[in-house]
Copies of this chain bind each other. A is one copy, B any other.
Amino acid sequence: MLLPSIKSQPQPVRTIGIVGLGLIGGCLALDLKQLGYPVYGVARRSATVTAALEMGIVTQAECDLALLSQADLVFVCTPMALIVPTVQRLIEHLPASAIVTDVGSVKGDIVTAATAICPNFVGGHPMAGKAESGIAAAEAGLFRKRPYVVTPIETTQLAAVDQVVAIASQLGAQVHISTPAAHDQAVAAISHLPVMVSSSLIHTCLSESDTHVKMLAQQLASSGFCDTSRVGGGNPELGTMMAQFNRPALLKALQQYQHQLDTVIELIESEQWEALEQRLIVAQQKRPKYL
């Protein structure tokens, strides 16, 4: 347990910094500025800085992290691989009391590494998005009624957690508190596993060696196939990144999935129709818990 020095005690948030003005960073800027916070944005490309200023979603914007020297709370909204390096570069520019949070969709390693650099780091994952990316797609209210997971660890200061929770609540999000590990296992199951399950369904159809069957399947596929294959046909870069960053949790989920699939195959092979129907009844009855 780190003992926070008085110097590093988080102050009430007055000024917000955002590093990375893509879709999520842009939406955060838009909502927080509308909520009345001064918002300072930092982007890698000057074209993004110009766009943010023209859209009026930031109070000030630059390509230089030095802009954030007065920030009380900084959101790191870069691609996942850049979160920890950004925290590292950022820390020298910030007041010691500043809170740093991120929006990465996998938390374990990032929270450990970022907290080692910055004791006032609080992991976060706002679970919102849309098909388009980039600042041009930013819109107000993206986080409203969407889950926002905050993932403190043992050493995280409660005051810093409270402030990230307060801001997430002001965005209208539904805040959940979780350990990074539980978060990663939960999103592996409901978000990353479906991508692998769904893309494997597409590949099964593509691997059909009988050309007539393959073509017929393409002609007959309907809403059921469309829905089950949707996330498997999504952004390949994003799917790969999820697997890369959430590898152990995803592998565990995939192994649990294989086990469930083996059970279904065994029931069909041994013609245990009542037991199969019972499984499908449970799936039908319990699915609404996830909706």
With both beta carbons as reference points, the residue of chain B lying nearest to A281 in the complex is identified as B236
Task: Tell me whether A202 is interfacial, beta carbon within 8 Å.
Answer: yes
In the bound complex, residues from chain B placing their C-beta under 8 Å from that of A203 are: 260, 263, 279, 282-283
Query: In whole angstroms, what is the CA distance A227 to B287 when docked?
Result: 11
Taking a contact as CB atoms closer than 8 A, the residue among B178, B225, B230 that contacts A190 in the complex is: B225
Given contacts A204-B257, A234-B284, A261-B261, whether A218 and B290 have CB atoms under 8 Å apart is: yes
Task: Tell me whether A13 is interfacial, beta carbon within 8 Å.
Answer: no
Task: Tell me whether A207 is interfacial, beta carbon within 8 Å.
Answer: yes
Give min CB distance, A221 to chain B, whole Å: 4
In the bound complex, residues from chain B placing their C-beta under 8 Å from that of A243 are: 268, 273, 276
Q: Looking at A213, A226, A265, which has the most chain B CB atoms within 10 Å of its CB? A: A213
Query: In whole angstroms, what is the CA distance A179 to B124 when docked?
Result: 55
Query: In whole angstroms, what is the CA distance A213 to B179 when docked?
Result: 10
Query: In whole angstroms, what is the CA distance A207 to B257 when docked?
Result: 9
Is there contact, CB below 8 Å, between A244 and B226? no
In the bound complex, residues from chain B placing their C-beta under 8 Å from that of A218 are: 289-290
Is there contact, CB below 8 Å, between B205 and A189? yes
Is there contact, CB below 8 Å, between B280 and A191? no
In the A-B complex, the 8 residue pairs with the closest CB atoms: A236-B280, A233-B287, A221-B290, A194-B228, A186-B216, A240-B277, A199-B283, A186-B217
